[in-house]
Amino acid sequence: MRRTLRRIGRDIRDRRNIDAYVITLAALVFAVLSVVGGLLTDELRWGIALSALSLLVYRITIPDHAVVTGLDHVLADRSAFVDRPLNERLARCRELWLFAPSGINFLSPENCEALRTAALSRPDGAVRVVILDPHAKPAVDIAARQLDDSLDFPLQRLRPAIHAVVQQLELMRDWDLPGSFQYRFMQYNPGFSLVAIDPAEKHGVVIVEFHGYHNESNSSRMHLEITREDSARWYAYWTDQFDRIWRAARPQTPARAS
């Protein structure tokens, strides 16, 4: 049922099948009116029925673009987060996993504040973050070539972004909150970033962004969003990817006392 409602919501947002939904709603309204008190005349009933039938017959003649446009329900760039801001979704989560080369865009002040007041404020809350190891120079150099040099309009550089995020993670690790916060360092970039929100829950979601070979900007990279309801197989596949990344990553070195 929820999947159907989400599909209808996406259709309305993208202005698809509006005529069919209007006809369905009108038919339900007129059916109720007819049952309740016979408020509709026979002429009006026939007029509505013939109009609806004519419109539905017309829709049959329209080419079906579902194969062409169907992927738009699954694939998107970062502009999709304008309609569904990540910080609003994080404000309700109990667990968050993140893997990204630097994570600087995801770990924005708004998102970190949402994590602080949600997952990290719960005794059973947990946040796990993996970024590239700043000491793995060859891996960072290759990733910088892919992520920085392949952009038409870059706004930041990978290496300083990694160092900035390391400092941010150290600060977040020292927050006095009941939730668990851990971070680790990966030795190479597998070519994607991954966010999992409440991965163990029925309503969990996994977002995978592919870095690609060339992009106009960071925001134009393609990502897909998967729920357990969409595909149990691929949901498990991507959560397993993070589990393996986490096990392979190097735990952070405790900060030196100043």
Q: Measuring CA to CA, how many Å separate 101 from each of 23, 63, 81, 96, 257?
A: 49, 43, 20, 17, 27
- 68-72, 117-121, 161-165: the lowest-pLDDT one: 68-72
Q: What is the pLDDT of residue 67?
A: 43
What number is the average pLDDT over the span 82-110? 95
Percent of the chain at pLDDT above 70? 74
What number is the average pLDDT over the span 216-238? 93
For 38-191, where are the alpha helices, taking DSSP H only?
42-60, 66-69, 80-83, 86-90, 109-117, 137-147, 158-173
**Residues with Cβ within 8 Å of residue 116, at least 6 apart in sequence:** 175, 177
CB atoms inside a 10 Å sphere around CB 36: 8
- Average pLDDT of every residue of the chain: 85
Q: What is the pLDDT of residue 255?
A: 44
What count of Cα atoms within 13 Å lies in the side-chain half-sphere of residue 29?
A: 7
CB 112 within 8 A of CB 177: no
- What pLDDT digit, counting tens, does each position of 3-49 carry? 667 667 767 766 667 767 776 777 676 666 665 555 566 666 666 66
Task: Sketch out the chain's domains with CATH numbers.
Answer: 2-72 (no CATH), 76-251 (3.30.870.10)
- What pLDDT digit, counting tens, does each position of 127-177 carry? 999 999 999 999 999 999 999 999 999 989 999 999 999 999 999 999 999
Q: Which helix (H) or strand (E) holds 239?
A: helix 232-248
Q: What is the pLDDT of residue 252?
A: 81
- What pLDDT digit, counting tens, does each position of 180-202 carry? 999 999 999 999 999 999 999 99
Amino acid at residue number 51: S
